[in-house]
Amino acid sequence: MALLTILDETASGSILRRLELEISQELLTVRELIARRVHDEVAAYNARQDGLFQGLVQPTESERTLNGYRLRPTKRIDAEQQVYRALEAFRNNGFFLLVNDRQAETLDEEIWLGQGATASFVKLTPLVGG
């Protein structure tokens, strides 16, 4: 069992959030890593239900805030729906994933997550105007 350090970053390199994820295997696909991360976030939120979700993608029926997404305090989040939204966001370049400073290209790509590995989820902000 190893701890994987996960960073949520902006495109300019600012760290928005740091979390650790327990990983029991050294090789995972990008799809599996995203799903594990999202399942952990949803389980943590559903256990406390304080109305503020700090996760990779915005849940339905939520409002974006400075530090996450606001939901009604009794609203549970569907983990499978969140995984689907996160995988779609990856496919549509809603965020990039850098594992050990190398960009992951596809959901089926295998990545090494052994001792000392890091994963950075670089969130992109949509451009306004045009």
Residue 54 lies in a domain: yes
All residues at 6 or more sequence positions from 100 whose CB lies less than 8 Å from its CB, including other chains: 111, 112, 117, 118
Residue 130 lies in a domain: no
Per-residue pLDDT, averaged over 97-111, amounts to 96
Band the pLDDT of 99: cuts 50, 70, 90: very high
Q: Count structural domains, the chain.
A: 1
Residue 129 lies in a domain: no
Residue 124 lies in a domain: no
pLDDT, tens only, 36-53: 999 999 999 999 888 889
Instruction: Say which residue the tokens 């503020």 belong to.
Output: 52
Which domain does 71 fall in, by range?
2-117
